[in-house]
Amino acid sequence: MHSTTTRTQARVARVVRDRIAPYVHRPVAPVALRAWAVDGGQGEPVPAAHALGIDMTPGREVPDYRPFEVGQEWGPAWGTTWFRITGTVPAGLAEGERAELVIDLGWQDHSVGFQCEGLVLTPDGTVLKALNPKNRWVDLTGVCAPGEEFTLYLEAASNPLLLEVPPFRPVDGGEKETAGDAPCFRVVRAEICVFESDVHALVLDLEVAAGLAAELSADEPRHHRLLRAVDRALDEIDPEDLAASATRARTRLSDVLARPAHATAHLATAVGHAHIDSAWLWPLRETARKVTRTVANTLSLMDEFPDFVYAMSAAQHYAWIEEQAPDLFARVVERVGEGRFVPVGGMWVESDVTMPSGESLVRQILHGQRYMRDKFGAYNTIMWLPDSFGYSGALPQLARLGGFDSFLTQKISWNDTNDFPHHTFWWEGIDGSRVLTHFPPVDTYGAEVTPRELAHAVRNFRDKELSDHSLVPFGYGDGGGGPTREMLGRAARLADLEGAPRVTQRRPDRFFADLHAETGPETPVWRGELALELHRATFTTQVAMKQGNRRSESLLREVETRAVLAMLAGGDYPYDELTSLWRTVLLHQFHDILPGTSISWVHREARATYARIESEARALARAAEETAAAEPVTESMPSPDAAVLADADRRTIESDRVSLRFGEDGTVVSWTDLTTGRELVPAGARLGELRLLRDQPVVWDAWDIDRGARRTAQPLTAACSWEGVPDQDGSGRTGLAVTRAFGRSTVRTAYLVAPGRREVEVEVAVDWHESEQLLTLSFPLDVAARTARFETQFGYVERALNENTSWDWAQYETCAHRYVHVAEPGFGVAVVNDGSYGHEVAARDGAGIEVSASVVRAPRYPDPDTDHGEHRKRWVLAVTDDVRETVAVAERVNRVLEPVRPPVELAEIEGAAVLETVKAAEDRSGDVVVRIHEAAGARARARFVPGPEFGDQVAVRVVDLLEEEIEPERSLTVRHGRADIELRPFQVLTLRLSRGPEGGEAPVTTGRS
Q: 371-387, pLDDT tens digit by residue?
A: 999 999 999 999 999 99
According to DSSP, the β-strands at 469-474 and 819-824 are unpaired
Q: Where are the beta strands (DSSP E) in 864-1003?
A: 869-879, 907-909, 913-920, 928-934, 940-944, 953-959, 972-975, 979-983, 988-995
Query: Could you tell me if 759 and 889 are in contact, meaning their C-beta atoms sit under 8 angstroms apart?
Result: yes
What is the C-alpha to C-alpha distance for residues 713 and 711, in angstroms, rounded to an integer?
6
What is the C-alpha to C-alpha distance for residues 651 and 660, in angstroms, rounded to an integer?
8
Enumerate residues 6+ apart whose C-beta is below 8 A from 152: 84, 85, 86, 101, 120, 121, 122, 123, 128, 138, 143
What is the C-alpha to C-alpha distance for residues 32 and 37, in angstroms, rounded to an integer?
17
DSSP 17: I
- Return the pLDDT at 637: 60
What is the C-alpha to C-alpha distance for residues 565 and 571, in angstroms, rounded to an integer?
9
Burial letters 491-501, b for 16+ CB under 10 A, else e:
bbbbbebbbbb
Strand, coil or helix: 544:
helix
For 213-223, what is each residue's pLDDT tens digit?
Answer: 999 999 999 99
- Return the pLDDT at 1008: 33
- Return the pLDDT at 908: 62
Query: Could you tell me if 630 and 639 are in contact, meaning their C-beta atoms sit under 8 angstroms apart?
Result: no
**882 burial via Cβ count (<10 Å: 0-12, 13-18, 19+):** middle
What is the C-alpha to C-alpha distance for residues 402 and 394, in angstroms, rounded to an integer?
12
What is the C-alpha to C-alpha distance for residues 921 and 440, in angstroms, rounded to an integer?
37
Strand, coil or helix: 516:
helix
* DSSP state letters, 218-260: TTSHHHHHHHHHHHHHHHT--GGGHHHHHHHHHHHHHTTTTPP
What is the C-alpha to C-alpha distance for residues 387 and 595, in angstroms, rounded to an integer?
12
Query: Could you tell me if 299 and 308 are in contact, meaning their C-beta atoms sit under 8 angstroms apart?
Result: no
Query: Could you tell me if 829 and 513 are in contact, meaning their C-beta atoms sit under 8 angstroms apart?
Result: no
What is the C-alpha to C-alpha distance for residues 732 and 745, in angstroms, rounded to an integer?
31
Smallest Cα–Cα separation from 89: which of 138, 39, 24, 21?
A: 138
Smallest Cα–Cα separation from 852: which of 751, 796, 774?
A: 774
Give φ, ψ of 481 to 5 degrees.
Answer: 130, -50
Burial letters 253-275, b for 16+ CB under 10 A, else e:
beebbeeebeeebbbbbbbbbbb
Measured in whole angstroms, the distance separating CA 943 from the mean position of its chain's CA atoms is 37
- Across the beta sheet with 668-673, what order do the strands follow? 645-647, 652-654, 658-662, 668-673, 678-679
> Residue 29 pairs with which residues in a beta bridge?
192
What is the C-alpha to C-alpha distance for residues 61 and 81, in angstroms, rounded to an integer?
13
- Return the pLDDT at 630: 78
Find the largest Cα–Cα distance for the chain. 102
- Return the pLDDT at 431: 97
What is the C-alpha to C-alpha distance for residues 516 and 556, in angstroms, rounded to an integer?
38
- Return the pLDDT at 1002: 40
Q: How many Cα atoms are found within 13 Å in the side-chain-facing hemisphere of 867?
A: 31
Q: Where are the beta strands (DSSP E) in 528-675?
A: 645-647, 652-654, 658-662, 668-673
What is the C-alpha to C-alpha distance for residues 894 and 208, in angstroms, rounded to an integer?
57
Query: Could you tell me if 754 and 735 are in contact, meaning their C-beta atoms sit under 8 angstroms apart?
Result: no
- Return the pLDDT at 159: 96
What is the C-alpha to C-alpha distance for residues 12 and 862, in angstroms, rounded to an integer?
38
What is the C-alpha to C-alpha distance for residues 832 and 842, in angstroms, rounded to an integer?
17
What is the C-alpha to C-alpha distance for residues 88 and 104, in angstroms, rounded to an integer?
19
Smallest Cα–Cα separation from 562: which of 551, 548, 552, 574?
A: 574
- Return the pLDDT at 1003: 40
- Return the pLDDT at 974: 53
What is the C-alpha to C-alpha distance for residues 540 and 990, in angstroms, rounded to an integer?
32
For 111-157, what is each residue's pLDDT tens digit?
Answer: 999 999 999 999 999 999 999 999 999 999 999 999 999 999 999 99
* DSSP state letters, 613-654: HHHHHHHHHHHHHHHHT--BPPPPPPPGGG--EEETTTTEEE
Smallest Cα–Cα separation from 624: which of 867, 820, 918?
A: 918
For 917-972, what is each residue's pLDDT tens digit?
Answer: 999 999 999 999 999 999 999 988 777 777 777 766 778 889 999 999 987 344 44
Counting as low any pLDDT under 50, the low residues of the chain are 1, 903-904, 968-972, 998-1009
- Return the pLDDT at 636: 63
Cβ count near 804 (within 10 Å): 8
What percent helix, strand, coil does the chain show, rounded to 5? 30, 30, 40
Helix 197-215 × helix 485-493 angle, to 10°: 60
From first CA to last CA, the distance across the chain in angstroms is 66
Cβ count near 155 (within 10 Å): 25
Strand, coil or helix: 889:
helix
